[in-house]
């Protein structure tokens, strides 16, 4: 057994590196699936929470919408206000057996991470929708758009760009927080690390490898998401679509050569 620190780290990785990489892969898959499904849940809940209720609406519609909003608010508050570890144990060891639901550990992991992420994303989406200027909605309705059309074609595309950083944050958080799912037997990265550290009695060395693996995963995801954000920004200036090519509006068009000259100053 090597006596120096880096030699012991390499020894741990040589013996248990394949197992830890397998655990890291499972952590990544669970985080990606949970974040993707959670975003879908969050968008659905956030959109419903922002549906306006007016006095002139059908009373049945107003009552039904109010009940749905109350249920969704309870869902959001419960899953944002309790630890995911407690949620995992409550659902897997208590709720599912009580309801007769037979779901695998991995399926349960996807389910728990998705609904937990959905609760956080619901508030993010709601805030993103409300951050869009009210004039956008009024303008869309003035040309005859329905609420669904306004949301789909006007509000959500702008809100999505605003909340992209938070989506990235949720993915990074989920990569790290997937470790709490080891309480229901998910053999993710931290679970594999505990096995390696316990077998070799090298906690410091084993967890050093684990920290490096987590950092590589989160850093890579953050760089990819940052690139996606920059691509969503589009060009700095846009040309107006006009029927007369000579009728450009002053100040709305700039050649790329001018932009490059300014960037080089």
> Cα(132)–Cα(230) distance, rounded to whole angstroms?
20
Quick one: the chain helix, strand, coil %, rounded to 5? 80, 0, 20
**100-143 confidence digits (pLDDT tens):** 999 999 999 999 999 999 999 999 999 888 888 888 888 888 88
Contact 41, 122 (CB under 8 A): yes
> Cα(121)–Cα(43) distance, rounded to whole angstroms?
7
Instruction: Identify the band that residue 236 occupies on the pLDDT scale cut at 50, 70 and 90.
Output: low
pLDDT value at 27 more than 60: yes
- Report residue 143 as tokens: 């040309």
**Span 10-27, average pLDDT:** 94
pTM of the model: 0.81
> Cα(63)–Cα(222) distance, rounded to whole angstroms?
43
- Report residue 138 as tokens: 């009024």
The set of residues, in sequence order, having a beta carbon less than 8 Å from that of 85 and lying 6+ positions away, is 180, 183
Instruction: Identify the band that residue 4 occupies on the pLDDT scale cut at 50, 70 and 90.
Output: confident
pLDDT at 220: 95
**72-111 confidence digits (pLDDT tens):** 999 999 999 999 999 999 999 999 999 999 999 999 999 9
C-alpha pair distances (Å), 204 with each of 1, 7, 16, 162, 210: 15, 13, 14, 40, 10
What is the CATH architecture of 5-240? Orthogonal Bundle (1.10)
Q: Which residue has the tokens 């909340």?
A: 163
- Residue 105: phi and psi, rounded to 5, are -60, -40
> Cα(62)–Cα(68) distance, rounded to whole angstroms?
10
C-alpha pair distances (Å), 48 with each of 17, 32, 151, 242: 46, 24, 11, 37
Domain boundaries, the chain: 5-240
């Amino acid at each position: 057994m090597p006596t120096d620190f880096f030699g012991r780290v390499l020894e741990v990785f040589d013996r248990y590196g394949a197992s830890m990489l397998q655990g890291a892969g499972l952590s990544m898959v669970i985080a990606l699936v949970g974040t993707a499904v959670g975003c879908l849940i969050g968008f659905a809940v956030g959109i419903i929470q922002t549906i306006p209720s007016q006095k002139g609406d059908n009373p049945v519609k107003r009552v039904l919408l109010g009940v749905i909003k109350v249920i969704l608010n309870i869902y959001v508050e419960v899953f944002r206000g309790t630890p995911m570890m407690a949620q995992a144990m409550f659902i897997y060891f208590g709720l599912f057996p009580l309801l007769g639901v037979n779901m695998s550990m991995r399926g349960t992991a996807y389910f728990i991470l998705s609904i937990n992420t959905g609760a956080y994303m619901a508030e993010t989406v709601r805030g993103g929708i409300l951050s869009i200027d009210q004039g956008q909605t009024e303008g869309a309705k003035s040309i005859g758009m329905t609420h669904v059309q306004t949301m789909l074609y006007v509000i959500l595309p702008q809100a999505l760009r605003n909340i992209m950083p938070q989506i990235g944050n949720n993915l990074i958080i989920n990569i790290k927080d997937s470790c709490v799912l080891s309480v229901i037997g998910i053999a993710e990265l931290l679970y594999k690390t505990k096995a390696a550290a316990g077998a070799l009695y090298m906690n410091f060395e084993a967890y050093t490898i684990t920290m490096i693996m987590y950092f590589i995963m989160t850093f890579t995801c953050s760089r990819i998401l940052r690139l996606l954000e920059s691509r969503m920004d589009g060009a700095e200036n846009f040309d107006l679509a006009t029927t007369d090519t000579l009728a450009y509006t002053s100040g709305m068009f700039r050649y790329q050569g001018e932009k490059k000259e300014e960037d080089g100053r």
